[in-house]
Structure 1
Amino acid sequence: MDKFLTVSQIKPREAKPKERKERSYSEPIKINDDGLVSARELHEFLEVGRDFTTWIKGRIIKYDFDENIDFIIIESFHQNGGKGGRPEKDYVITIDMAKELSMVENNAKGKQARKYFIQVEKAWNSPEMIMKRALEFANKQVESLKLESKEHMKLIEEQKPKVVFADAVSTSKTSILVGELAKILKQNGIDVGAVRLFTWLRDNGYLIKRKGTDWNMPTQRSMEQGLFEIKESTHLNGDGVNVTTKTPKVTGKGQQYFINKFLNKED
């Protein structure tokens, strides 16, 4: 039987009004499903002539019991004549510790309790009980994995549109206008129009903010990052003069970059 205790094993009890109860020989002291015993209940059963706190502290010191190995201290509540409860300490102990405490009491009750704990240990370590605990543990693990899987699948479903969208863009070889990028973002839940997107790109150093012939052109940094390219075209104006115009276009890499940036910003 595992001798080490964890807080998760402990189930705080509510102490009942103090009254003498005759327990049957077959189950003189309650043992929980983790094989742990209330020292207060053991003290009551052993009919020790001292108060509980003095008794348990003395036994711990004399027989060198270790906290978190042989016992854990918890708080329970003692009912006080219907006027509410007051907290009191209990010591939740292992069967090994319970056996030793019973033996050193050196009375008939102690012998009865020790025999009982030995019987419980034998039953606990029987092949049937070992298999039962193994199945219970396996069932808990299966339920836990089902829950984790369900939560994981929910997250995948929530993220799927964003992941598929970003992955599709990453393979794009076509450069698009900033206004087209704004439309794609809007279709995917990011409400930003072309004007606001241009403003954001300028404010964050991707497009030139300074008024002039280079206004709204990609900065040196964004060009080096491969986020933009400049599309040049020529046409005749009303006076019959050839005019060259420059338009910033977002590359496939730039589309993925800005989409990821905005999606993460939304999250």
Structure 2
Amino acid sequence: MNQIIKINTNEQGEVNVSARELYQALEVSKSTRFSRWFEINSKQLIDGVDYRGVLVNTPQNQYGGVQQLQDYSLTVDAAKQIAMMSGTDKGREIRLYFIEVEKQWNSPELMLSRSLQYANSKLIGYETQIAELTPKAELNDVFIATGGAIGVREAAKELNVKQNEFIDNLLNGKYVYRSSGYHGRLQPYKKHVPKLFVLKSGSANGVEFTPQVLITPYGREFFYKKFYAPDQIEMF
């Protein structure tokens, strides 16, 4: 079967036709402008059901200029109706062409082919998601494998991020503060202890010093999701 008009297929597997191509195929371009032709022929159609507006690019000049033209994506039924309304031999020919296209489109062979293509596209999508999530899942396993609480520097290294960037995130998120001034020691807010942080106290020569802040395995997993994988975050 010769292709009179190109049949397009969208992501949902629905077929549609360009109104401009139908306009050209009906050979009415010499008698009326496209905008006027579509205005008349779309009166019996429903916007969003039988057609939808689309913009198409067309070359404007030899220097690469592009002009956008208004077009409409028609369902095959709508295209058949317009072809029939034309009342011409060309219109009848195009209507019969659409009927034959629908017969072939709905044949068992093509229906099976479309089903397989759809299933394959979904499978590829799932494989892509799995590939994206695998590194995240592997990193989460590291938090469990490393066991105990560790310092901020070690945690940043484990997360594979810059230490200063990690500290800025903790400060801006109000998870920690500096005990005194810009260069003060990092200390966690009490509400985040001991779930996200634990404090390691110590002394030297009988003098106690400011406790060192350590991040728990749960805390490292939480901060990883919070700052670097927000799609996996589980707020507590």
TM-score interval, normalised by the smaller of the two chains: 0.5 to 0.7
For 2:118, the equivalent position in structure 1 comes to 137
Distance 1:137 1:129, change over 3 A: same
Instruction: Decide whether the 8 Å contact of 2:155 with 2:215 is kept in 1.
Output: no
Deviation per residue, 1:162-213 (Å, 9 max, x gap)? 4533xx127xxxxxxxxx8467557746759xxxxxxxxxx838x7x7xxxx
Instruction: Decide whether the 8 Å contact of 2:152 with 2:215 is kept in 1.
Output: no
For 2:104, the equivalent position in structure 1 comes to 123
Q: 2:148 aligns with which of 141, 150, 169?
A: 169
Q: How does 1:240-255 map to 2 (within 5 A)?
A: 255=215
Instruction: Decide whether the 8 Å contact of 1:222 with 1:228 is kept in 2.
Output: no
**RMSD in angstroms over aligned alpha carbons?**
4.1
Q: 2:130 aligns with which of 129, 141, 149?
A: 149
Whether 2:62 is the aligned partner of 1:82: answer yes
Instruction: Decide whether the 8 Å contact of 2:199 with 2:212 is kept in 1.
Output: yes
Instruction: Decide whether the 8 Å contact of 2:144 with 2:217 is kept in 1.
Output: no
**Equivalent-residue separation in structure 2 for 1:223 and 1:125 (angstroms):** 63
Whether 2:32 is the aligned partner of 1:32: answer no
**Equivalent-residue separation in structure 2 for 1:42 and 1:224 (angstroms):** 66
**Equivalent-residue separation in structure 2 for 1:106 and 1:152 (angstroms):** 58
Q: How does 1:210-249 map to 2 (within 5 A)?
A: 222=190, 225=193, 227-228=198-199
Structure 1 length-normalised TM: 0.58
DSSP 3-state at the match of 1:169: coil
Q: How does 1:91-106 map to 2 (within 5 A)?
A: 91-106=72-87
Distance 1:123 1:247, change over 3 A: same
For 1:256, the equivalent position in structure 2 comes to 216
Instruction: Decide whether the 8 Å contact of 1:103 with 1:114 is kept in 2.
Output: yes
Aligned residues: 199
Distance 1:54 1:182, change over 3 A: closer
**Equivalent-residue separation in structure 1 for 2:91 and 2:67 (angstroms):** 29
Instruction: Decide whether the 8 Å contact of 1:78 with 1:86 is kept in 2.
Output: yes
Instruction: Decide whether the 8 Å contact of 1:162 with 1:263 is kept in 2.
Output: no
Deviation per residue, 1:106-145 (Å, 9 max, x gap)? 1111111111111111111111111010001011111111
Look up the equivalent residue of 2:177 and give its one-letter code.
N
**Equivalent-residue separation in structure 2 for 1:223 and 1:124 (angstroms):** 63
DSSP 3-state at the match of 2:6: coil
Distance 1:257 1:101, change over 3 A: same
Higher RCO structure, 1 or 2 (CA under 8 Å, sep 6+): 1
**Equivalent-residue separation in structure 1 for 2:152 and 2:117 (angstroms):** 55
**Equivalent-residue separation in structure 1 for 2:8 and 2:140 (angstroms):** 44
Query: Which 5+ residue runs of structure 2 have no aligned equivalent?
Result: 165-175, 229-236
Query: Which 5+ residue runs of structure 1 have no aligned equivalent?
Result: 1-24, 171-179, 193-202, 210-215, 238-243
Distance 1:164 1:263, change over 3 A: farther
Larger Rg: 1
DSSP 3-state at the match of 2:46: coil
Q: 2:51 aligns with which of 62, 67, 71?
A: 71
Distance 1:186 1:76, change over 3 A: closer
Instruction: Decide whether the 8 Å contact of 2:23 with 2:34 is kept in 1.
Output: yes
Instruction: Decide whether the 8 Å contact of 1:185 with 1:259 is kept in 2.
Output: no
Look up the equivalent residue of 1:72 and give its one-letter code.
R
Look up the equivalent residue of 1:56 and give its one-letter code.
F
Instruction: Decide whether the 8 Å contact of 2:57 with 2:68 is kept in 1.
Output: yes
**Equivalent-residue separation in structure 2 for 1:186 and 1:77 (angstroms):** 49
